[in-house]
Amino acid sequence: SSKQHELDFRERSRTDISIQASVKNFQLTMK
C-alpha cells in the first residue's frame, strides 16, 4: 500500500512538472 502511494506521488509530481513547463511555454508564446 505504501509502495503504491509512493508511485502515485511520483507520478503526480512528474505531471505537475510537465504542467508547469507547458504553462511557462504558453506564457512565453503569449508575449
Measured CA distances, 20 to 5, 13, 16, 24 (Å): 22, 10, 6, 6
| Domain extent at residue 21 | 1-31
What confidence score (pLDDT) does residue 30 get?
A: 85
Closest Cα partner for 11 from 3, 26, 21? 3
What confidence score (pLDDT) does residue 1 get?
A: 78
**Cα–Cα distance, 19 to 25 (Å, whole number):** 10
What confidence score (pLDDT) does residue 21 get?
A: 97
pLDDT in tens, 1-31: 789 999 999 999 999 999 999 999 999 998 7
Cell 506521488 identifies what position?
Answer: 9
Quote the pTM value. Answer: 0.55
- How many independent structural domains does the chain possess? 1
What confidence score (pLDDT) does residue 31 get?
A: 79
